[in-house]
Amino acid sequence: MGGASPLGESGRRNSTTPLASRDPRFQVADLPREISRKRGPPATRLAHGVPFLRLQLLPCSHSTTAKSPSRPSPSSSHPAGGPPPAMATPAPHLVDEILEEIFLRVPTPAALGRASTACPRFRRIITERSFLRRFRKRTRPPLLGFIEEDGFYPAQAPHSSAPLARALADAADFTYSFVPKPSNGRWRPCDVRDGRVLLEDTPGWNEFSNLAVCDPLSRRHLLLPPIPEDLTGARKERLCGIVPTLAPIDEEDEDETSFKVICMAEYETKPLAFVFSSLRGNGV
């Protein structure tokens, strides 16, 4: 369920073999001393149009003797006094593709939410995971506020996100009262990504802390298991510092409730990366 991704220069995989652990959710690998900051994934380029019709040129003769296709006269197209012939109905999947391209160009998530209430068909298209992934890539998420140790500070007017930020502050629980308290009785937020907050109990900057991932809006949480001792004791040297962080999920992952946590441990001679993955476990 978990794997340590050795982080080398330019984000390439290191050839060092990960150390096995009795806990399959964790692995650890040596990292090179010099670690360049990993760049984010390149921006996805979207086409500005989708060819819905294909036109074909037909040969025609300039000879005056060639007969052009005759058009049926209005009187012969349908019986006199009868209804005109019905137009061909476009394929349903083609209509859905056109609507999806239109919805991708909606400027804000709020406007997209209003569009989803228009009819069941609109809602079905907009709530599909494949569409939501494309929309998030195209639309920059709004700034709603800042999370500190003492709570959430929402964006204030005249910022355009102020109403949404206030609604989030009223609906979510940024005291994390729904997460079981650690032994020292206090959680501290250390990272935020995709609506989730990574919490630690902070026993010390050079100690492995207890970690939890939670969603303050839905009030769901997951307590991360401690890193196995056979991994933490893999290096017989002093631990100088450790930094836990939430890592982005791969774009091809279907389960958007999953997440990854990476703990960067700095030892005296070399850093290590401990990775926890919930791709096959419980998500938040």
- pLDDT per position in the chain (284 positions), as tens? 444 444 344 444 444 445 555 565 665 655 555 544 444 444 333 334 443 333 343 444 444 444 445 555 544 455 555 666 666 666 677 788 999 999 999 988 888 888 999 999 999 999 998 898 888 888 877 889 999 999 999 999 999 889 889 999 999 999 999 999 988 778 999 999 888 999 998 766 667 888 999 999 999 999 998 887 777 665 677 778 888 999 887 665 556 678 889 988 888 888 888 888 887 555 55
Residue closest to 214 by CA, chosen among 201, 197, 226, 200: 197
Residue 15, in any domain of the structure: no
Residue 212, in any domain of the structure: no
Among 118, 140, 162, where does a domain finish? 140
Residue closest to 256 by CA, chosen among 177, 179, 175, 194: 194
Residue 273, in any domain of the structure: no
Name the 3-class secondary structure at 11: helix
> What's the domain count of the chain?
2
Residue 158, in any domain of the structure: yes
Peptide bond into 85 cis (omega under 30): no
Residue 63, in any domain of the structure: no
Residue 203, in any domain of the structure: no
Both 126 and 149 in a single domain? no
The partner residues of 265 in beta bridges, in order of sequence, read: 242, 272
213 in Cβ contact with 221 (< 8 Å):
yes
Which range marks the domain in which residue 165 is found? 142-171
Among 171, 188, 213, where does a domain finish? 171
- Whole-angstrom CA distances from 47 to 51, 104, 138, 176, 204 are 10, 11, 11, 42, 50
Both 109 and 136 in a single domain? yes
